[in-house]
Amino acid sequence: MALTHKARRRWALIILLIGLPLYIVAAVSVMSWLDRPGILVELLVYLGLGVLWALPFRAVFRGVGRPAPDDES
């Protein structure tokens, strides 16, 4: 079942306000448990994790910034 535009907007807000900060804390915690790798390796890991979190939510975020499709304006 496809999400309505209103439901996508709500889920996107929940993901950004609750899920993303939790993901950031988890990523930083995991990186702190590891022995400090080289700065370039650490940068690449953070860049990879920064892109990786959004991949499962692409369908939720797609079209959220646009006006609702049923708007007449």
The alpha-helical segments, DSSP class H, found in 15-62 are 20-33, 39-52, 58-61
- Tell me the per-residue pLDDT of 9-65, one tens digit each, with 9 for 90 and over: 999 999 999 999 999 998 888 888 878 788 898 888 888 888 888 888 888 888 888
Predicted TM-score (pTM) of this structure? 0.73
Q: Which residues contact 64 (CB under 8 A, 6 or more apart)?
A: 5, 8, 9, 12
